[in-house]
Amino acid sequence: MNYFTISSPAEASFVEKKSEFIGYIAPVKTGDEAVEFVNRIKSMHRKARHNVYAYIVRQDNISRYSDDGEPQGTAGVPVLDVLQKRGLTDVCIVVTRYFGGILLGGGGLVRAYSHAAALACDAAHIMDMRLCHRLSISADYGMYGKISYILPRFDTITVSSDFGSEVTLEILVLSEKLEALKTELTEVTNGSANVSDLGEAYEDFSSVLG
């Protein structure tokens, strides 16, 4: 199963009827990491009226949220809803609100917190994490052109290239395309390429599948 997450923290803000909403987003792997991030943002904004949060992590399938003093259902749930609708996981969002003195009402709060969460998501780099194999391909220089020609057809990502006594490429290939690629490599190089499987892992394929 592929999943979407973010590569690094990001933030964005806007003002609604004199209240400032600051959305912070960060990648997290566990519930403890999410709580640590929430506490860090709270410590940065001790004078803020509210620090609303929501997070989803794959480990133990956890999702949590807090309205942090806002009327029930008007803050934490909308932030969590943004994460769910965008299919993001291993992510925590904190929305800090500095109250401007004008009440927004229930609907206004829902829209404001949703908007702050969405802006934070938009500011982050979204990663399309896919189960793939890391391969090492070694071949004579005469085969390099043929190998380079077929790799894009399999949506591979080249991690490194070493041009020594022979050409050695380290690539990522989606697990479901592994066997087809290995067969093709054998055919175009007449079996002369040495292909080593370095293992399976989740990697970001947004650059080739986006």
Final residue of a structural domain among 74, 103, 124? 124
In this structure, are 103 and 157 located in the same domain? no
In this structure, are 23 and 104 located in the same domain? yes
What's the CATH number where 52 sits?
Answer: 3.30.230.30
In this structure, are 115 and 183 located in the same domain? no
Final residue of a structural domain among 106, 124, 142? 124
Q: Where are the alpha helices (DSSP H) in 2-104?
A: 31-44, 76-85
- pTM of the predicted model, to two decimals? 0.85
pLDDT, tens digit, 9 for 90 and up, residues 43-86: 999 999 999 999 999 998 999 999 999 999 999 999 999 999 99
Q: Is the pLDDT of residue 1 over 80?
A: no
In this structure, are 84 and 180 located in the same domain? no
Tokens of 166: 């022979």
Q: Which amino acid is at 78?
A: P
Tell me which H or E stretch contains 121: helix 105-123
What's the CATH number where 180 sits?
Answer: 3.30.70.240
Length of the chain: 210
Q: Give the pLDDT mean for 161-166.
A: 93
Q: Give the pLDDT mean for 98-123.
A: 94
Q: Give the pLDDT mean for 17-21.
A: 94
Confidence class for position 101, pLDDT limits 50, 70, 90: confident
Q: Is the pLDDT of residue 210 over 70?
A: no
What is the distance between the alpha carbons of residues 199 and 82, in angstroms, rounded to a whole number?
A: 34
In this structure, are 93 and 140 located in the same domain? no
What is the distance between the alpha carbons of residues 25 and 152, in angstroms, rounded to a whole number?
A: 33
Q: What is the pLDDT of residue 60?
A: 87
**Nearest by Cα to 98 from 56, 147, 49:** 49
Q: Give the pLDDT mean for 126-133.
A: 96
Distances (CA, A) of 98 to 17, 39, 47, 121, 191: 11, 17, 8, 20, 66
Q: What is the pLDDT of residue 105?
A: 86
Q: How many domains does the chain have?
A: 2
Domain holding 43, by residue range, is: 3-124
